[in-house]
Structure 1
Amino acid sequence: MRRLALIGLAGALAVSMSACASQRDSGGSGANDTLVFGAAGAPKNFDPIFNDDGESFRPARQMFDTLITYKPGTTELQGALATAWTPSADGKSWTFTLRQGVKFHDGTPFNAAAVCFNFDRWYNMKGAAAQSQMIYYGDVFEGFAHNEGDAGGQPVYKSCEAKDDHTAVLNLNKAKGAFPDAFGLTSLSISSPDALKKYNADAVTQSGDSFSYPAYATDHPTGTGPYKFQSFDKTNNTITLVRNDDYWGEKAKIGKLIFKIIPDENARKQELAAGTIDGYDYPSPADYNALKSAGDQVLIRPAFNVLYLGINQKNNPKLTDVRVRKAIEYAINKDQLVKNKLPTGAYAQNQLLPNNVPGYTDAVEKHNFDQAMAKQLLNEAGAAGMTLNFYVPTEVTRPYMPNPVEIASAITDDLKAVGLNVNVVQEPWNGGYKDDVQKAGKQDLHLLGWTGDYADAGNFIGTFFGRQKAEFGFNNPQIFSALSTADAQVTADAKKAAYEQASVLISQYVPAVPLASSPPGIVVRANVHNLIPTPLTDERFYTVTKG
């Protein structure tokens, strides 16, 4: 039942210099007992179920645990709050044996009743709360008890039974190929039922495309993780977490963990040089040599992501013609883009899956760089000289997209070279871009990507195209059905074959242009040890020491 694993990376990629014995034993003191990490953006909030981006998940992963997690440095499953997980023969129920002696940060016990409370909470959400958490829960569980607005579909979740304090049984309406891997999603972290009720966790309100969150999400996140929430100082842009001395597992080596929000990459680099932060994520590939020369450690993760040029068919009728979408792909020189704008180890893509995920196949229809073919198809479709609104994010660095403005500039030049007019619209990542692209669908083209949450094709192409979405603006029942069929397969071989078929269909339809997959880096100072980079970009800081 387990997916393809990237095994053995932890040892090779971990920062292996050992700290002094007293640092290891006591967690350090003074400056060595505080780690300051430069974050590229502010979190949306701290309730995992309502989030969908790395900057929100980074602090959440330190405060919360999931039932199942991934071995450090790999995508291989290992126990977390559950020590064992067993499916029924038909894949429609999962029995979890739960870890004993675990407490939430508020001192209340973790048990099967708490697990079922969380699953029931997610399933019974409605209104703004359901709309706000659709990206992960909606993709995995497909529907809610009360489907409203854009929330639709037949729910996968049926019920949860607490057989005893340490046994929870999850019942499903149908088998789901994403499990058990998807049980490790940060969104499905387990919260304290008492805290959820005390701080009115589901009281989300919506105004247009914006959401406001209750006190649980903003000030009182309560999990079982190695760090506890202390504060979010919005004046100084710092999130402070402190060690959970009652943690059930390996205690955090460093007592205080601070995430300092620094949206500008150059500013993050300068603060690292000044020693005011101890590390930051996604350094520019152009800076790798300079950082190493300064004595910093640049750790490279395996490529486990996809960058794509999204095509929204809703606003421009010409984009509903597959010839036009293929022409856009033919127009882009992906090899040159990879060479000039992405780090060493990146590779051009011809499908929307990394090459280390089952479902990736050489049988896809390929549209390699060919300006003459692009022009021919545009002429045939009567689309030569058409104008496209190209939305591009700013104030962000993503694993698949180290510098979105520069990447977009190269793509724009390629599109103009085949006679297309391009109107570039730049918007801040958390200042309108994601809402306009993913919810309102205002764009014709957009730059976006995805880092895998687990090693399953459904987490990529199923997330993108498993149902109709504003981001892409198309309705293709054949693709939706192929992805649904693949996701229902119980055996690994059957699922792999089904996703390969879906990948071929997607490549023929071109709902988006796959561009590249990149190995993102993370940089820390010379005195930071034992940070284990992971292909999932879900680093946990409890192992880190300084000194």
Structure 2
Amino acid sequence: MRHPHRTAGLGLAALLAAASPAIAETTLRIAMTAADVPTTTGMPNNGFEGMRFLGYPIFEGLVLWDLSRADRPAVLRPGLAERWEQDPADPKTWIFHLRQGVTFHDGTPLTADAVIWNLDRFFKPDSPQFEPAGAGITRARNPILAGYRKLDEATVAISTSRVASYFPYMAVYILMASPQSWEKAGRDWAKVSTLPAAGTGPFKLGKFSPRVSVELLKNPAYWDQARVPKLDRVLLLPMPEANTRLAALRSGQVDWIEVPPPDAIPSLKQAGFNIVTNSYPHVWPWIFQLGGAATPFKDVRVRQGLNYCVDRKGLVEMLNGTAEPSVGWLKPSDPNFGKPENRYGFDPAKGKALLAAAGYTPQKPLAFKVMISASGSGQMLPLPMNEYMQQNLKEACGVDVTFEVTEWNTLLTAVRQGPDAPILNGATATNPSSPSSDAGVMARYFLQAFVPPNGFNWGQWTDPGFEGAFAALETARDEAGFNTAYAKAHERLVDDPPWLYIVHDLNPRAMSRKVKGFTSAQSWFQDLVPVEMP
């Protein structure tokens, strides 16, 4: 099964020539997995790869990720807000104190009014500046945001629909663009994307060619002078096909590729390229649909059985060690993994027994369709990985799996729809990879309140034990109480699995030895500021 590589008819050499006729000495050229350049209005599409390269480097939030260390999962740090706290009188309200002296790339100041303008852009459909595409992404990542107001010129209050100890982990996904960008474009978001739009980040947008390339330029006037980029320019090139990325790196046409083909890693190392990996909060699953009319996944025995049918170690071997087996949303090494009753391993006998108890036997085999993408943010190598899964489940447990292969953004659109939506074309499971970084992500993927369009609980899973544990987590007043509730919530994700847990990615990248200063953060996002080229 293969999906055509679409580059608007351009060969790789022509694509690079069109993107950049002259490469400066301090230019870093990166081949992304995306099939297109992420959108450039200030809230990029293409999932977290869009945020990685066209989000945080240019457009910042009140809260940011600390991506400076490789030895621990990324934590939060102050961004456009110097500090924040829950209102002592109302724990549903968070107060953000804005950083002073920050300007957008167009020279206009960051003010409380600019923050409110951006919140209206995402959360107020009748505002003149409402941007449907960016709003859909931002609202899905902030499903509990209920209101906001300016307290004074340097302070903004944001209210949530429920008490949420983790709200800063959602606020990190609300990016700020200059209101002047929209005015300059004649109040037309389609034109904003080609201006380019102005953010506040260490890089600013340069030339933009849809489906071809986009460049990021150093922002010498960045508000944190200790974090002015060392590079003059970063050139981003969409290359969804892994072998195309590999050829570009080997020929010297790019300096850095996301997700090299695993079977090429030994030869890349032998040729002097750096292979960079690190554990990070990323799970690559199949998500079960429990709410549809024709789904087989309402029976927990089917979901548990499938989790015992997967030869995860075999898949890791196929990926040349660039992943690790997944037996839950969190990794077993995570202190909040808990002590679930089920510890999934490759046990076909147990898997088949559970399927048989649910009514699926060799005479009546389990059969279903999974919607998958050909590439995309965090998707690793979805075609060969899913072909492996198809063969594994057939041979181990007699399960018949077919695929609906689509483009990454189409898959993202599908998982924001209800069950049996026409876009799914009969699929009752989907394969978008997921962050597993914090309780804020857990909320929007698994709480019953966040079925689409309110969040990412596409499978419409609900579990009373999970709901109760999560309620305790949301109102926890100390770290010990929070962690106890978090572990209990995760135990329910394992024992009443809404997903088929397959692998955790190790975030592989291949780079020229000329690339210096990169730290592989334990995060979906990475810091380009300290990177150097000779």
Q: Distance in 1 between matches of 2:458 and 2:185?
A: 36
Q: Distance in 1 between matches of 2:478 and 2:132?
A: 31
Query: 2:372 touches 2:406 (CA, 8 Å); kept in 1?
Result: yes
Query: 1:530 touches 1:544 (CA, 8 Å); kept in 2?
Result: yes
* Cα offsets for 1:400-424 (capped at 9, x unmatched): x432122212221232132222223
Identify the residue that residue 107 of structure 2 maps to in structure 1.
Answer: 107
Give the secondary structure class of the aligned counterpart of 2:55. Answer: helix
Identify the residue that residue 207 of structure 1 maps to in structure 2.
Answer: none
Identify the residue that residue 159 of structure 1 maps to in structure 2.
Answer: 148
Q: Distance in 1 between matches of 2:169 and 2:295?
A: 39
Q: Distance in 1 between matches of 2:235 and 2:492?
A: 46
Identify the residue that residue 33 of structure 1 maps to in structure 2.
Answer: 26
Match of 2:260 among 273, 283, 297: 283
Q: Superposition pairs for residues 182-331 of structure 1, below 5 Å?
A: 182-185=170-173, 188-199=174-185, 214-217=190-193, 219-234=195-210, 237-249=212-224, 250-313=227-290, 314-331=292-309
Q: Superposition pairs for residues 108-127 of structure 1, below 5 Å?
A: 108-125=108-125
**AA paired with 2:171?**
F
Distance change in 2, residues 1:437/1:161 (3 Å): closer
Identify the residue that residue 428 of structure 1 maps to in structure 2.
Answer: 407
* Cα offsets for 1:362-420 (capped at 9, x unmatched): 33533432222222232332233132113332134x54x43212221222123213222
Matched, 1:450 2:450: no
TM-score under structure 2 length normalisation: 0.82
Q: Distance in 1 between matches of 2:247 and 2:301?
A: 47
Query: 2:380 touches 2:505 (CA, 8 Å); kept in 1?
Result: no
State the shift of 1:259 in Å: 0.5
TM-score under structure 1 length normalisation: 0.80
Q: Distance in 2 between matches of 1:200 and 1:315?
A: 47
* Cα offsets for 1:263-307 (capped at 9, x unmatched): 221111111122111111122333333222222222222232111
State the shift of 1:238 in Å: 1.0
Q: Superposition pairs for residues 527-542 of structure 1, below 5 Å?
A: 527-542=514-529
Q: Distance in 2 between matches of 1:374 and 1:411?
A: 15
Give the secondary structure class of the aligned counterpart of 2:523. Answer: coil
Query: 1:390 touches 1:422 (CA, 8 Å); kept in 2?
Result: yes
* Cα offsets for 1:113-149 (capped at 9, x unmatched): 222322343221379955764455334343xxxxxxx
State the shift of 1:51 in Å: 3.4
Q: Distance in 2 between matches of 1:512 and 1:531?
A: 34
* Cα offsets for 1:158-217 (capped at 9, x unmatched): 3222423x33333445432223333323xx11111232355477x7xxxxxxxxx63324
Query: 1:49 touches 1:137 (CA, 8 Å); kept in 2?
Result: no
Q: Which is worse superposed, 380-389 or 262-271? A: 380-389
Query: 1:46 touches 1:59 (CA, 8 Å); kept in 2?
Result: yes
Identify the residue that residue 489 of structure 1 maps to in structure 2.
Answer: 476
User: How many residue pairs end up in the alignment?
Assistant: 486
* Cα offsets for 1:5-56 (capped at 9, x unmatched): xxxxxxxxxxxxxxxxxxxxxxxx9732222111221244123446361332
Q: Distance in 2 between matches of 1:296 and 1:126?
A: 52
Distance change in 2, residues 1:355/1:528 (3 Å): same
Q: Distance in 2 between matches of 1:461 and 1:341?
A: 30
Distance change in 2, residues 1:475/1:279 (3 Å): closer
State the shift of 1:437 in Å: 4.7
* Cα offsets for 1:229-264 (capped at 9, x unmatched): 2222136x1112222232212322222221112222
Query: 1:45 touches 1:51 (CA, 8 Å); kept in 2?
Result: yes
Q: Distance in 2 between matches of 1:50 and 1:59?
A: 6
Query: 2:327 touches 2:344 (CA, 8 Å); kept in 1?
Result: yes
Give the secondary structure class of the aligned counterpart of 2:142. Answer: helix
Identify the residue that residue 168 of structure 1 maps to in structure 2.
Answer: 156
Identify the residue that residue 97 of structure 1 maps to in structure 2.
Answer: 97
Query: 2:149 touches 2:158 (CA, 8 Å); kept in 1?
Result: yes
Matched, 1:474 2:476: no
Q: Distance in 2 between matches of 1:361 and 1:135?
A: 31
Distance change in 2, residues 1:464/1:53 (3 Å): farther
Identify the residue that residue 370 of structure 1 maps to in structure 2.
Answer: 347
Query: 1:436 touches 1:443 (CA, 8 Å); kept in 2?
Result: no
Distance change in 2, residues 1:69/1:434 (3 Å): closer
Q: Distance in 1 between matches of 2:524 and 2:85?
A: 27
Distance change in 2, residues 1:50/1:320 (3 Å): same
Identify the residue that residue 62 of structure 1 maps to in structure 2.
Answer: 57
Match of 1:46 among 33, 36, 40: 40
Q: Superposition pairs for residues 340-351 of structure 1, below 5 Å?
A: 340-341=318-319, 343-344=321-322, 346-351=323-328
Kindly, what percent of the aligned residue pairs are identical? 22
Identify the residue that residue 148 of structure 1 maps to in structure 2.
Answer: none
Q: Distance in 2 between matches of 1:264 and 1:278?
A: 17
Give the secondary structure class of the aligned counterpart of 1:288. Answer: helix
Identify the residue that residue 77 of structure 1 maps to in structure 2.
Answer: 76
Q: Distance in 2 between matches of 1:138 and 1:437?
A: 11
Query: 2:461 touches 2:498 (CA, 8 Å); kept in 1?
Result: no
Which structure 2 residue ranges, 5 or more long, are not aligned? 1-21
Which structure 1 residue ranges, 5 or more long, are not aligned? 1-28, 143-155, 204-212
Q: Distance in 1 between matches of 2:401 and 2:344?
A: 21
**AA paired with 1:271?**
A
**AA paired with 1:416?**
K
Identify the residue that residue 373 of structure 2 maps to in structure 1.
Answer: 393
Query: 1:176 touches 1:490 (CA, 8 Å); kept in 2?
Result: no
Q: Distance in 2 between matches of 1:291 and 1:341?
A: 15
Give the secondary structure class of the aligned counterpart of 1:114. Answer: helix
Identify the residue that residue 7 of structure 1 maps to in structure 2.
Answer: none
* Cα offsets for 1:70-118 (capped at 9, x unmatched): 2233413322222222333353333333222221112111122222322
Distance change in 2, residues 1:427/1:323 (3 Å): same
CA RMSD, Structure 1 to Structure 2 (Å):
2.9
State the shift of 1:328 in Å: 1.6
Q: Distance in 2 between matches of 1:114 and 1:132?
A: 16
Q: Superposition pairs for residues 407-418 of structure 1, below 5 Å?
A: 407-417=385-395, 418=397
Matched, 1:178 2:178: no
State the shift of 1:541 in Å: 2.0
Query: 1:342 touches 1:518 (CA, 8 Å); kept in 2?
Result: no
**AA paired with 1:375?**
K
Give the secondary structure class of the aligned counterpart of 1:159. Answer: strand
Matched, 1:522 2:522: no
Q: Distance in 1 between matches of 2:319 and 2:151?
A: 52
